[in-house]
Structure 1
Amino acid sequence: MASMFLSSLDQSIIGTAMPTIVGELDGVEHQGWLITIYILAVAVVMPLYGKAGDLWGRRYPFLIAIGLFTVASAGAGFAETFNQLVTWRGIQGLGGGGLMILSQAIVADIVPARERGKYMGPMGALFGVAAVAGPLLGGWFTDSHDWRWAFWVNIPIGLVALAIAWFTLKLPTHRSGKRLDVLGAVLLAVATSALILVATWESMVGKYDLSDGRLVALIAGTVVAWVLFVVVELRAPEPVLPMRLFRNSVFTVSTIIGLVIGMGMFAALGFLPTFLQMATGTGVTQSGLLMLPMMAGVMLTSIASGITITKTGKYKIFAIAGMGIATATLVWMTTINAEISMLQYSLMVFVLGAGLGLVMQTVVLAVQNAVDPHEIGTATSANNFFREIGAAVGTALFSSIFTSRLVDELKQVFADVPAAGAGGEAAPASLTPQVVQTLPEPLRAGIVEAYAHALAPAFWYLVPLLAVGFVLAFFIREIALSDVAGMVARGEAVTPEEAEALLAERAQEQAAAADADAAGDDAREGDSADDGAEPATGQAESRTTSARA
């Protein structure tokens, strides 16, 4: 759970720090990449970690993920340019993907599906806590210390987690003669990266223009890469993402729901703190504190739904309710403006959190319960992969829409008030909340309105996506939850009843061995007594013979 918290925390910790970071490193026009690159890297490696865990065990992939994440956190903290920071964020994601997926797979290995709800609920709550604690910590570090501490804080936590996992995480490991699908992994990385580049094209180039040969080539390359990936996976003996999983309706429906959750949730979380700071004048730390209601909503519904699922065995209703609430809340969020009261904003994010808490871990549980026990890691990673793809594409599209609208608005503002930014510190690419608050009123008011006008309409693009997820939730086929843990089903462990029987049998064997040892000792003592008696008799006979002589 601690490892999942670390990975989830890093998706959101720069939300409140991002305006300061991009202002300091001159990256306003490409700010979405700080979030997108991390999510992209997480998504690409998830299927690899899942398959590696299924083939060789989860312990060593888990340790590698912790180490990679910790080293990259140090690198991100020392980054001197925006490009360096984006690179280290990508490497962080390569470790973070393993932390996130392997923690869920390990729970599935040791806890039966019927009991898993009370564990998955707190894990979902922890995910929500990280989503909110991230902006809070990021804001506190930025206000009180330096935004770089948002990355450095991972170093001691990562080292402690690595030590604990090394000495206490005892899981079965085994050598498999099966080879990892390297070609499939490469094609997956290429196809996913190309898809993200298409989604972020507007923020990189300025507009989508189908007469641009580069864009056409990129779209064509993306399609070809995905087609080749599917062909390779259909033929691979151990595919990274088995196409046969999509014949399972529970997996397919739950995975699509996860995808639209990712598109909606991360897009909202990534840019709400920025909006609060730039449009409402909220401080960095305060903008993080204003995410606490969302944490409360996620924790409340995740834990409550997990306990209820364990008691009743029913989970479909929670997915339906969660998607319905999340969709309605996004419609409500299209009304956000610079004059919004903090009470109304807090209520919005609380309700959004409550909806997400009901559905996030529920769909993962449904997938794990519906697939072959030997593919729990692969199926879990595939489900999470598409959620992260949704998050990456959703964040990229939302960032493109928001940033392009924002840049146009800011250019107009600076064109209307040219003298106010003559000093150069108020250039559009270098705006920070601190700079905005020191600007003359006409320019400051124009920038505030620009952020408000750019953000709220962008939420409308997410509403249809979540509405699709809401409809699909009705089609989840509810299967009775299994009473057998993953390792037991695979023959790598035993059930509690079998364990008791084995212990009783072992106790009987030990008792029998002890009796045999005791009997052997008695026999040896008897032999020793007989051996000692013979010399005495001989001596007596000798004395008798001598006397007769």
Structure 2
Amino acid sequence: MFTKLGNLIAPYKLLLPLCFGVFIAADDQTVVVTLLPDMLADLRVGVSELDRASWSITGYLIGYTAAMPLMGRISDRTGYRRAFLLAMAAFTLGSALVAVSPDIPRWLYGGPPEYNWLVGTRVFQAIGGGAVIPISIAAASELVDRKHRAIAYGLIGASAEAGGVFGPLWGGGITTWLSWEWAFWLNIPFTVIAAIWILRIPPGKRHSVKIDLPTATVFAALLSLLTIGLVRIGEPDALMASSLALSVVLLGVLVALNNRSADPLFPKRLFQLQSFNYSNLTHFLVGAVLIIGMVTVPLMAASVFGKSPLEGGLQLLRMTIVIGFGAVVGGYVTQRFGARIPSIAGLLITTAGFLLLASWTVDIAEPALTIHLAITGIGLGLLVSPIAETALWGVQADQRGAASSLLSVSRMVGMTAGLAAMTALGTVQFQELVADVPAFSLDPDVQKEILDSATHAGVEVFTRFFLYGAVISVAALIPAWLMTRSRPISSSEGN
């Protein structure tokens, strides 16, 4: 029995340190969800300021995404092991800076804590965290033979989802027994372990590619301006218009720089692969769906159901833990039957799950709550491996880091856009629903009516988000079908 188990694990054992690093970085995407109330209190930001408060998450997503193409090319040039160590170093320093961010104004100019310093340090931390997933996907294509790659991609995806599972629980536990800063201080010993562990695997192949810093800089600026514009979409103003206009200009500059580069940051050959393009579009839409679930579930738990941060994390666990399980199952199904079955099935199940979440009321209880979240999670998990497997069909060995990073970018841009739209639309919709409700009354009966009105308004806003998730999931069926129409054959794929 143990011999058979060992044989099953053997093809994937070199991935363990990479999976550990992915877990750590993914944890910090979601840990802030349950840390947020305490962080906002310390930094003098009201919980009702949703558009401002969300930047601690949005800033991380921007840094996380902006780093991916650059670090993907660095991985192609230096080998995945050196790139991984560089990413861990940036993530470690960033974690320490986030932990001390409330004190930075006092140290520099004797000022009070400022929220902008937290956002800035989160962006820096995310630059390291964002590099880990594409580096690991590229490494898997080199460390694991083609026969076992689908499951390898599923394991990396499962590690990312496991980090997402653990993040809210970790944050809830930290705020229960320690202060929120410890969630970031405690990253440091884990990153040191990951860095030492990665030295036990091969360094990876090095390719003679150049690093296109100008294009990477323009991409980061484009992503930031696009996000600022999307955040303001619920309340159109000059900032929104100018941000979106500049985004269009920068997109043109990005395309021109990339096309003129002798060794482009975004290799042009990748975009000649239809399966790669459709995989990225599918991943973009899946990212938007995922962020709706990851943010709405704990926020709804706290604001509508009156749960503590730890309880909110446990509620989200019902969905995220199943995503990890679904990722491994999706890898096995992809390996046996191809990418189309798990892709279409995953999206249909995800749609059904979000429709069930959209039916929630203030009276939702067990076991329905867990069943609905688990259905959503299994659908999202099934999508991880077939999207990665399809995107990397036909990709040359010296472009796997770039291809992996672009695939991760598409999901993160989807998450960033989804979060920005949620923030803008949610703030406006909530204000509209409570516009005629008085702020406070000394009459206990009237005050109860005020609280009930606010609660029902929150339920309506959050369930609308879930309905948006179902609609986006249905839309993703089209590129998912197209990405699996044919499998390109390439002699460069190798083993």
When the two structures are superposed, what TM-score results if normalisation uses the length of structure 1?
Answer: 0.78
The answer as to 2:202 corresponding to 1:170 is: yes
2:57 to 35, 48, 57: 35
Q: Secondary structure at the match of 2:361?
A: coil
Tell me the equivalent position of 1:331. 355
Tell me the equivalent position of 1:285. 310
Q: Which runs of 5+ in 1 are unaligned?
A: 421-439, 490-494, 496-549
1:362 to 386, 403, 406: 386
Question: Could you tell me which amino acid in structure 2 is paired with residue 87 of structure 1?
Answer: G
Tell me the equivalent position of 1:432. none
Question: Could you tell me which amino acid in structure 1 is paired with residue 319 of structure 2?
Answer: M
Is the Cα contact below 8 Å between 1:19 and 1:274 reproduced in 2?
no
**Root-mean-square deviation (Å):** 2.6
Tell me the equivalent position of 2:89. 67
The answer as to 2:290 corresponding to 1:260 is: no
Q: Which runs of 5+ in 2 are unaligned?
A: 1-18, 103-113
Q: Secondary structure at the match of 2:225?
A: helix
Q: Structure 2 vs 1, CA of residues 152 and 408 (structure 1 numbering), >3 Å: closer, same or farther? A: farther
The answer as to 2:477 corresponding to 1:470 is: yes
Is the Cα contact below 8 Å between 1:35 and 1:270 reproduced in 2?
no
2:339 to 299, 315, 318: 315
The answer as to 2:68 corresponding to 1:49 is: no
1:373 to 397, 408, 418: 397
Separation of aligned partners in 1, 2:413 and 2:142: 25
The equivalences for 1:2-17 within 5 A come to 2-17=20-35
Is the Cα contact below 8 Å between 2:394 and 2:492 reproduced in 1?
no
Tell me the equivalent position of 1:513. none
Q: Structure 2 vs 1, CA of residues 71 and 409 (structure 1 numbering), >3 Å: closer, same or farther? A: farther
TM-superposed deviation, 1:104: 1.3
Q: Structure 2 vs 1, CA of residues 220 and 292 (structure 1 numbering), >3 Å: closer, same or farther? A: closer
TM-superposed deviation, 1:157: 0.6
The answer as to 2:235 corresponding to 1:207 is: yes
Separation of aligned partners in 2, 1:349 and 1:329: 7
| More displaced 10-residue stretch of structure 1: 95-104 or 70-79 | 70-79
Tell me the equivalent position of 1:136. 169
Question: Could you tell me which amino acid in structure 1 is paired with residue 456 of structure 2?
Answer: E
Is the Cα contact below 8 Å between 2:222 and 2:251 reproduced in 1?
yes
Q: Summarize deviations over 1:79-113 as a string: whole Å, max 9, x none.
A: 22322211111111100111121111111111123
The answer as to 2:99 corresponding to 1:77 is: yes
Q: Summarize deviations over 1:216-275 as a string: whole Å, max 9, x none.
A: 322221101001111221121111112332221100111101000111101220231121
The answer as to 2:158 corresponding to 1:125 is: yes
1:457 to 464, 477, 492: 464
Q: Percentage identity across aligned positions? A: 25
The equivalences for 1:137-286 within 5 A come to 137-165=170-198, 167-172=199-204, 174=206, 176=208, 178-202=209-233, 207-209=235-237, 212=238, 214-286=239-311
TM-superposed deviation, 1:485: 10
TM-superposed deviation, 1:280: 0.6
TM-superposed deviation, 1:373: 2.1
Q: Structure 2 vs 1, CA of residues 483 and 464 (structure 1 numbering), >3 Å: closer, same or farther? A: same
Is the Cα contact below 8 Å between 2:350 and 2:470 reproduced in 1?
no
1:405 to 429, 451, 455: 429
Is the Cα contact below 8 Å between 1:313 and 1:481 reproduced in 2?
no
Tell me the equivalent position of 2:4. none
Is the Cα contact below 8 Å between 1:113 and 1:485 reproduced in 2?
no
Question: Could you tell me which amino acid in structure 2 is paired with residue 397 of structure 1?
Answer: A
Is the Cα contact below 8 Å between 1:319 and 1:362 reproduced in 2?
yes
Structure of larger gyration radius: 1
Is the Cα contact below 8 Å between 2:230 and 2:240 reproduced in 1?
no
Separation of aligned partners in 2, 1:71 and 1:342: 42
Q: Summarize deviations over 1:409-438 as a string: whole Å, max 9, x none.
A: 56755x341569xxxxxxxxxxxxxxxxxx
Q: Structure 2 vs 1, CA of residues 152 and 261 (structure 1 numbering), >3 Å: closer, same or farther? A: same
Q: How many residues align?
A: 461
Tell me the equivalent position of 2:328. 303
When the two structures are superposed, what TM-score results if normalisation uses the length of structure 2?
Answer: 0.86
